[in-house]
Every structure is written in structure tokens, then in C-alpha cells.
Amino acid sequence: MIKVLVTDLDGTILFNDNIPDVVREGIDMLLNYGIKVCIASGRMFSSIYNYYKILGLDTPIIAYNGAMIGDKDLNIIYHEPIDYPTWFQIFEVLLREDFQINLYFNDKLYIFRGNPYGNNYPLQNKVHAIFIDNIKYIPKLPTTKILGIGPPELVRETQFKLKEIFNCRFCITTSSPTYLEIMNNRVSKGKALRFLSEMLGISTFEMAGLGDSFNDFELIRDAGLGITFNNSPEELKKIADYVTQKDSPEGFREVVDFIIWKNHY
């Protein structure tokens, strides 16, 4: 019995800052069947909250790929940042390349050295940003996440380089071809499921995990029912329990139908 759908946001239920009708109708149907819906995103807590209000959700909010979890009243109930001396090592590597570097302190965004790939980031995420060009103005505080934004080939090369240099000291993933995301190594959307399980009193076996990108790998793998779309990367399709026949967002209707069918049979 699936009691909760934990879903990614961008590219899964949100497209160009729009939640399609097929998604809204599907979420309403799940809620009417008593199935909770929770969002797990790489976005900032405050950015995700905008869409919670639109969808009328009241479940916990999983932000920063699981590094921060909060409730519907914007209270932070879990936070696993990277301490300053540690994250600065990553920062130095990104600094040598042509990355825009986003840092997040207490859900506030600092952007170091903007570039064309990331200039629209604050607008797209509906958040305020503090732009800085001098290292000395960067807070020497723990950061929830480091986001390197740059051309896809640079993201791929640097992801491989960081994994070689730091081995398993960080969680290093991508949420889009131009977004290189680095979090504490104790963080993932999959690990957030276990925290969510304790909060809601619902087993992870009773959760469905839906996503479309590499930062959703653990979410799909560790949920009781892992789901992805026909147009998702092959790596996700291989570990998913169910792959929709249609691409996203139209495939969301299949997701809803399959969960309701599974609960009946």
C-alpha cells in the first residue's frame, strides 16, 4: 500500500515555472484517495515553499537534495550542512574553472562570479540573491549546498575530477546538464526518505519515489516503489520499479493511475 508519493520538482512536476494541468489533476486525485504528496528537490527551502502553497500541500518539504527538511510553516527541522573549512576545498576547485558558484547560508543565496548559464537563477527560483565578486565577502559559515553552474562539458569533467580528488567525502551529483551539486556526504534524497518515515510514521516501503534526473537516483532506488519517466536517463530506468510509457509531464497521469491501481490490487 502506497501512502506517500515523494516527487522531484523541476522536470518532473514543474516545467518552465508552470505546473501542468495533468500534474495538478493527478495530485488532487492522489490527495482524494488519501495518498500524501511530498516534494523533494535540489532547490532552496523557500523556493520550494512557493509551489507547496500553489498545490495546497501540508507535508514536510525536502530541500537541497535532502540537506534540509522543513515543515509547512517554514520551520527547519533537519539540516546537514558542510562546514566552512571543508566546503572551501570544493570552492577552490570550482574557482579555478569558469563556474558560477552558488552558496547557501541559512536558506539565503550568495552568488559568486555570475555567468550566462546561471544569471537567471534567482528569477527562475523566485529567490533573492546576494552577488559577490570578492572572496573576502563570502561568509565563513557552514553552507547547505554548493552549486557550480557552467557548460555541460565542464560540469561532466569537474564532477569526475571532484570524485577522484575527494572520493566519498561529499555527495556529488547533477540535477541538470549545467548544474553540479555538492552536499554533505550524509545527504541524499534517499536518506531523506528515512527521516520522512520517522516524521510521518510511514514505512519507506509505503512510499513511492518519482524523479527524472541523476540527483533522484537514491530517491527512486530507496523508495518502496521507484518510478521514472520514459524520457529519463537510462541509469534511472534500470533501477526503477515502473517506467511510464509517455514522457513527462504527460507520464504523470500514468504514475497516478499505477499507484492507485497498485493500492487496489
Alpha helices in 136-239 (DSSP H): 152-166, 189-200, 217-222, 234-239
Q: Give 49's pLDDT tier (boundaries 50, 70, 90).
A: very high
3-state secondary structure of 129: strand
Give Cα 129 to chain centroid, integer Å.
19
For residues 25-44, give the mean pLDDT: 98
Let me know if 68 is exposed, middle or buried by CB neighbors in 10 A (0-12, 13-18, 19+).
Answer: buried
Residue range 125-173, pLDDT digits in tens: 999 999 999 999 999 999 999 999 999 999 999 999 999 999 889 999 9
Residue range 242-265, pLDDT digits in tens: 999 999 999 999 999 999 999 998
Q: Give the whole-number percent of the chain exceeding pLDDT 90.
A: 96
pLDDT of residue 168: 85
pLDDT of residue 265: 81
Give Cα 239 to chain centroid, integer Å.
18
The domain made up of 84-184 has a fold known as: 3.30.1240
Look up the pTM and report it. 0.95
Domain over 4-79+187-264 is classified CATH 3.40.50.1820: no
Would you say 37 and 45 are in contact if contact means Cβ atoms under 8 Å apart? Answer: no
Beginning with the edge strand found earlier in the chain, give each strand of the sheet holding 76-79 in spatial order. Answer: 61-63, 68-70, 76-79
pLDDT of residue 72: 86
For the chain, the structural domain boundaries read 4-79+187-264, 84-184
Q: Mean pLDDT over all residues of the chain?
A: 96
Residue 81 pLDDT > 90: yes
Q: Phi, psi at residue 61, to the nearest 5°?
A: -105, 120
For residues 223-241, give the mean pLDDT: 98
For residues 189-205, give the mean pLDDT: 96
pLDDT of residue 93: 96
In eight-state DSSP terms, residue 247 is P
